[in-house]
Amino acid sequence: MSQVRELDKAELLAVLDWYRAAGVDLAVGEDPVDRFAKPAAPQPAQQARQAATPNAPAPIPATAAITGDPSEARRLAATAQSLDELRTILEAYNGCSLKFRATQLVFADGNPEAKIVLIGEAPGAEEDRQGKPFVGRSGQLLDRMLGAIGLDRTKVFIVNTVPWRPPGNRTPTPEEMELCLPFLNRQVELVAPRLVMTLGGPAMQTVFKTTSGIIKMRGRWQDVSIGTHEVPALPTLHPAYLLRNPAAKQQAWADLLSLKMKMDSLGLS
């Protein structure tokens, strides 16, 4: 009969990293629970407590989907007269269920007076911990990409289409994107950039209002409307994609050079 080998420290850490990447970042108990088992009948004391508070609101289950009204999101976003006001509104907004699975709001980073806005997809695990977009490995690569054309975070403003981390770093659903879009639009309206660059497919599809893939669209400038703000925009590959596919860095470099040429033509260098 074979014996079960105990995991060493490095193996245990690798398991924890795997769980964290999958979105499991909270321990709720030491003993396993069968979520599919038939619930036990309430005890008399529990029934008495329930009867004593008939109008008490039921607790929200951990798996409940909390979805808001897109029109309410648009109304709230439109009331913000500054980025600080918009952040406060988003921190109080409970219409998107992503908020209840994330550690904190990831609002933006960089210079709010910048003339260039970068738009990514959604926060990852490291962004969720620090509360800033693009601070993990992909953020480090993004910083090097910007530096190659004379930019840094003091010269750009960085946002995401969704300001809360989706569990397991999954792609945001269309419903989640719709609820968060008014806040993204208002961010861009308040900054009023001269140029926009989108990073990755979901951000490109949101900003360019298309279902085309990023490989087909990247490197092609188009005038887009983000809320009421019209601006030339350039889609490029997401830094996380470049980490997985280093050969694609040549395409991203061509896009960066195109951004640099556009900056020069507008006197933004």
SS (H, E, C) the chain: CCCCCCCCHHHHHHHHHHHHHCCCCCCCCCCCCCCCCCCCCCCHHHHHHHHHCCCCCCCCCCCCCCECCHHHHHHHHHHCCCHHHHHHHHHHCCCEHHHHCCCCCCCCEECCCCCEEEEECCCCHHHHHHCCCCCCHHHHHHHHHHHCCCCCCCCCEEEECCCCCCHHHCCCCHHHHHHHHHHHHHHHHHHCCCEEEEECHHHHHHHHCCCCCHHHHCCCCEEEEECCEEEEEEEECCHHHHHHCHHHHHHHHHHHHHHHHHHHHCCCC
pTM over 0.85: no
What are the pLDDT digits (tens) for 76-112? 999 999 999 999 999 999 999 999 999 999 999 999 9
pLDDT (tens digit per residue) in 174-197: 999 999 999 999 999 999 999 999
Confidence of residue 34 (pLDDT cuts 50, 70, 90): low
pLDDT at 69 over 50: yes
Q: Average the pLDDT over 33-59 and give the result.
A: 52
